């Protein structure tokens, strides 16, 4: 049972990271994003000076109207000029504000662009481990909501602070010139402004941070349950009401934090407004007595009252400026959290680029463990009954209940692997579920780096090669085929953007998918749907094979999962794979006996170690783990139908 806040904390995913204190380092880093736009910012400052100066003229015009134009005997020509001035000043200010807004928008949108591109580029450079530990909805929230909030610090908050500073200084200068005693009275309330800001401002920043965290958690849930796989899972298990309840809880937290933010913000401005009223009343009270005593004119006190309003409005904003700026910096902190994540799979400055490779692969005493505790990750966002927990439980259950051999539950995925795969050799990987076969293949294209030992390509440590070299010469077909929600043509061109139509068709013929594509109403321009869900499993797999054929890599890594396909699709895929593997170094996680029989060598993995290797007949004769796997998994392939 969960009680009170504990239950809500569990549902909402725990505490967000504590707010970082404002520091010069953080401020300098924020201001670096404004540096490329210094010309626009200078232009804005000049326009701010102009509009501030024009605004200071209006009270002086009112004073002249009252004291000069309207005092008997009156001055009609002066009245006409002053009335025209009252119209021209807002017209000129409006025109200047339009240009200022254009510059402001160009700075703001530019900062959004810079931050989004920097974030996306950095995310592309992060390892696969990061994405297995991070919810996509959280990343979308950072790329959308937090980036917009961050640019607000530069294009709005910073500009407003500068505008208000200029206005306060200029207004105070004019007020002192008019009457220094009333000016002193007017600023006596300043300590109360500061008190209100310190009392309520810090809590307002905390609420904003909480609201951003709740938004990110809500986005994560939306992405999990509204993508095609999530929607299918929800429907199959009849959990729509449960997911709606979870969404209601997270949406309620967003709503409640929004209400808190609105109420606290209103309390803050009401308090500041009351302080302003006291200051204004004090000035009019003392100033009124001075008018009655004949110290200065009615026009002067009217002008002074107008200046007082012009002083308190920016002063009120300045009092709240640290709160506004700190709130905007919360978004920057969340953006920087991603930008500061280390690249696990990084390229050396002097990395070697290979234009051609033979295809020799060697593992030298390689060990690997999924050290998720030390992996780069964002602030923890858990999920009640989360699929992460379910997946972990299923993984453990699968490993623990392996039908052949020992339990696969262990800390290291691979331990002490040493093996040489020669150029042009077809090597099949077999072993119980959870034995480390997929991890083994992931080390070849450097999706992960070994925890110890090294993997080499043509004698070069993979860490010494450019990532482009590996991407160019290694092709991979995974068990779960991913296709973009786009046309067949676009999905194929992902492997070779400059491929001709003839090349596309040749690759698809080799993958036994061309005739199927031509049977579609739109041919190669047919849309495959979300993750290719408009296609069958066999069709998606053949498209994936065609995509790799188009890439034409020297080394091929594939998970040959065909057990769930019908016999016709499987036959077409096996024929396509045979063409694909011809003349290449091939590393295959084998699921079918035909692949094992065709292999030059079979590597048998158990608990992350290579326990046997050789050809089918010799391994069968040994009577070891391979023989047991053959009896339980592969023998039925050889039986007549």
What is the pLDDT averaged over residues 235-264? Answer: 83
Q: How far is CA 315 from the centre of its chain?
A: 37
For residue 373, the Cα-to-chain-centroid distance in whole angstroms is 21
- For residue 405, give Cα distances in angstroms to 493, 567, 589, 594, 617: 43, 29, 18, 23, 20
Residue 228 belongs to some domain of the structure:
yes
User: Do 394 and 290 belong together in one domain?
Assistant: no
Given its phi and psi angles, is residue 22 left (phi above 0), alpha (psi -120 to 50 degrees) or beta? beta
pLDDT range class, residue 264, cuts 50, 70, 90: confident
Nearest to 551 by CA among 488, 492, 470, 469: 492
The whole-angstrom separation of Cα 37 and Cα 104 is 10
Confidence of residue 489 (pLDDT cuts 50, 70, 90): very high
Structural domain contains residue 16: no
Q: Would 5 be classed as within a structural domain?
A: no
Domain co-membership, 294 together with 402: no
Mean pLDDT within 70-90 = 84
pLDDT tens digits for range 453-478: 999 999 999 999 998 899 899 988 88
Q: Which residue has the higher pLDDT, 67 or 544?
A: 544
Query: Could you tell me if 320 and 383 lie in one domain?
Result: no
Out of 285, 306, 339, a domain closes at 339
Q: How far apart are CA 230 and CA 245, in angstroms?
A: 16
Residue 599 token pair: 């292999």
Looking at mean pLDDT, say which of 170-174, 224-228, 410-414, 442-446 comes out highest.
442-446
Q: Select from 292, 307, 339 the last residue of a domain.
A: 339
Residue 13: predicted pLDDT: 36
Q: What is the pLDDT of residue 22?
A: 53
Note whether 324 and 380 are same-domain residues.
Answer: no
Residue 257: CATH number of its domain: 1.20.1560.10
Is 53 part of a structural domain of the chain?
yes
Higher pLDDT, 244 or 322: 244
Identify the three-state secondary structure at position 93.
helix
Take residue 85 and report the two structure tokens written for it. Answer: 């001035």
β-bridge partners, 612: 604
pLDDT class of 401 with cuts at 50, 70, 90: very low
Note the pLDDT of residue 531.
Answer: 65
pLDDT class of 567 with cuts at 50, 70, 90: low
- Mean pLDDT within 502-508: 91
pLDDT number for residue 320? 66
pTM: 0.68
Most confidently predicted of 149-158, 528-537, 598-607, 627-636: 598-607
185: three-class secondary structure by DSSP = helix
Compute the distance between CA of residue 317 and CA of residue 272 in angstroms, rounded to an integer: 10
Residue 104 lies in a domain: yes
- Domain shared by 437 and 292, yes or no: no
Residues 303 and 443 in one domain: no
Specify whether 292 is located in the same domain as 222.
yes
pLDDT tens, residue by residue, 100-158 = 888 888 888 888 888 888 888 888 888 888 887 777 777 887 887 778 777 777 777 77
> Which of 339, 354, 388 delimits the end of a domain?
339
Q: Are residues 329 and 217 in the same domain?
A: yes
Q: What is the pLDDT of residue 385?
A: 38
Could you report the per-residue pLDDT of 336-380, keeping only the tens digit for each?
888 888 888 888 889 999 999 999 999 999 999 887 555 565 654
Say if residue 499's pLDDT is above 50: yes
Instruction: For residue 621, give the CATH number of its domain.
Output: 3.40.50.300
- Rounded distance, CA 399 to CA 396, Å? 5
Q: Tell me if 155 sits within 8 A of 108, measured CB to CB.
A: yes
* Domain-located, residue 18: no
Q: Do 372 and 473 have their domain in common?
A: yes
Residue 408 has a pLDDT of: 57
Q: Are 402 and 433 in contact (CB under 8 A)?
A: yes
Q: Within a 10 A sphere around the Cβ of 168, how many other Cβ atoms?
A: 20
Q: Are 127 and 447 in contact (CB under 8 A)?
A: yes
pLDDT score of 595: 80
Q: Would you say residue 10 has pLDDT above 60?
A: no
- The contacts of residue 52 (CB under 8 Å, 6+ apart) are 163, 166, 167, 170
Q: Is residue 544 part of a domain?
A: yes
Task: Kindly state whether residue 192 falls inside one of the protein's structural domains.
Answer: yes
Q: What is the structure's pLDDT at 397?
A: 33
Cβ neighbours around 390 below 10 Å, total: 12
Number of other residues whose CB lies within 10 A of the CB of residue 25: 8
CB 399 within 8 A of CB 409: yes
Question: 394 and 273: one domain?
Answer: no
DSSP string, 541-585: HHHHHHHHHHH--SEEEEE---TTS-HHHHHHHHHHHHHHHTTSE
- Average the pLDDT over 74-79 and give the result: 81
Same domain, 464 and 334: no
- Give the separation between CA 222 and CA 199, rounded to whole angstroms: 36
Beta strands in 357-462 (DSSP E): 361-368, 414-421, 426-430, 452-457, 460-461
Cα–Cα distances (Å) from 276 to 189, 199, 280, 560, 564, in that order, read 8, 17, 6, 75, 74
- Domain residue limits at 240: 26-339
Cα–Cα dist 550/312, whole Å:
69
* Residue-by-residue DSSP string for 3-58: -HHHHHHHHHTSPPPPPPPP-HHHHHHHHHTTGGGHHHHHHHHHHHHHHHHHHHHH
Same domain, 431 and 306: no
Q: How many domains does the chain have?
A: 2
The answer to whether the CB of 384 falls within 8 A of the CB of 10 is yes
């Amino acid at each position: 049972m969960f009680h009170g806040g504990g239950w809500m904390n569990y549902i909402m995913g725990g505490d967000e990271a504590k707010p970082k204190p404002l520091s010069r380092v953080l401020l300098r880093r924020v201001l670096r994003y404004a540096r490329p736009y210094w010309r626009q910012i200078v232009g804005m400052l000049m326009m701010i000076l102009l509009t501030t100066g024009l605004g200071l003229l209006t009270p002086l015009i009112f004073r002249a109207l009252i004291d000069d134009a309207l005092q008997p005997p009156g001055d009609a020509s002066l009245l006409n000029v002053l009335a025209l001035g009252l119209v021209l000043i807002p017209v000129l200010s409006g025109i200047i504000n339009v240009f200022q807004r254009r510059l402001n928008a160009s700075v703001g949108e530019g900062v959004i662009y810079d931050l989004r591109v920097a974030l996306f580029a950095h995310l592309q450079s992060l390892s696969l481990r990061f994405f297995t530990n991070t919810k996509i909805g959280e990343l979308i929230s950072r790329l959308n909501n937090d980036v917009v909030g961050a640019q607000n610090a530069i294009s709005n908050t910073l500009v407003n602070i500068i505008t208000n500073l200029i206005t306060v200084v200029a207004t105070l200068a004019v007020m002192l010139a008019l009457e220094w005693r009333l000016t002193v009275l007017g600023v006596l309330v300043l300590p109360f402004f500061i008190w209100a800001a310190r009392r309520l401002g810090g809590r307002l920043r905390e609420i904003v941070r909480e609201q951003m965290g709740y938004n990110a958690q809500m986005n994560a849930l939306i992405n999990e349950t509204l993508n095609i796989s999530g929607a299918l899972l929800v429907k199959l298990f009849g959990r729509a009401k449960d997911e709606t309840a979870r969404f209601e809880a997270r949406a309620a937290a967003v709503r409640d934090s929004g209400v808190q933010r609105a109420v606290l913000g209103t309390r803050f401005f009401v308090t500041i407004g009351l302080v302003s009223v006291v200051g204004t009343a004090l000035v009019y009270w003392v100033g009124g007595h001075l008018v009655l005593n004949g110290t200065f004119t009615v026009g002067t006190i009217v002008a002074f009252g107008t200046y007082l309003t012009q002083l308190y409005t920016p002063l009120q904003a300045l009092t709240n400026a640290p709160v506004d700026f700190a709130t905007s910096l919360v978004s920057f902190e969340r953006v920087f959290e991603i930008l500061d994540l280390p690249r696990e799979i990084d390229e050396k400055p002097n990395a070697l680029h290979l234009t051609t490779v033979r295809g020799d692969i060697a593992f030298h005493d390689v060990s690997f463990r999924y050290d998720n505790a030390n992996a780069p990750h964002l602030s923890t966002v858990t999920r009640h009954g989360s699929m992460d927990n379910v997946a972990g439980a299923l993984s453990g259950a699968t490993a623990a209940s392996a039908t052949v051999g020992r339990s696969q539950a262990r800390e290291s995925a691979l331990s002490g692997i040493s093996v040489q795969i020669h150029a042009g050799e077809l090597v099949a990987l077999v072993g119980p579920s959870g034995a480390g076969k997929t991890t083994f293949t992931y080390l070849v294209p450097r999706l992960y780096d070994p925890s110890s030992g090294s993997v080499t390509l043509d004698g070069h440590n993979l860490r010494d090669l450019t990532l482009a070299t590996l991407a160019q010469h290694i092709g991979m077909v995974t068990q779960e085929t991913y296709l973009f929600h786009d046309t067949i043509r676009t999905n194929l061109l992902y492997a070779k953007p400059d491929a001709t139509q003839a090349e596309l068709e040749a690759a698809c013929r080799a993958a036994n998918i061309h005739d199927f594509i031509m049977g579609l109403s739109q041919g190669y321009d047919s849309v495959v749907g979300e993750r290719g869900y408009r296609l069958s499993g066999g069709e998606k797999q053949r498209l994936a094979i065609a995509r790799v054929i188009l890439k034409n890599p020297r080394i091929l890594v594939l998970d040959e999962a065909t057990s769930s396909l019908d016999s016709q699709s499987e036959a077409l895929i096996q024929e396509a794979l045979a063409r694909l593997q011809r003349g290449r170094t091939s590393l295959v996680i084998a699921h079918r006996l035909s692949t094992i029989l065709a292999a030059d060598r079979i590597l048998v993995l158990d608990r992350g170690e290579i326990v046997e290797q050789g050809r089918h007949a010799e391994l069968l004769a040994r009577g070891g783990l391979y023989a047991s796997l053959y009896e339980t998994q592969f023998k039925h392939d050889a039986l007549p139908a």
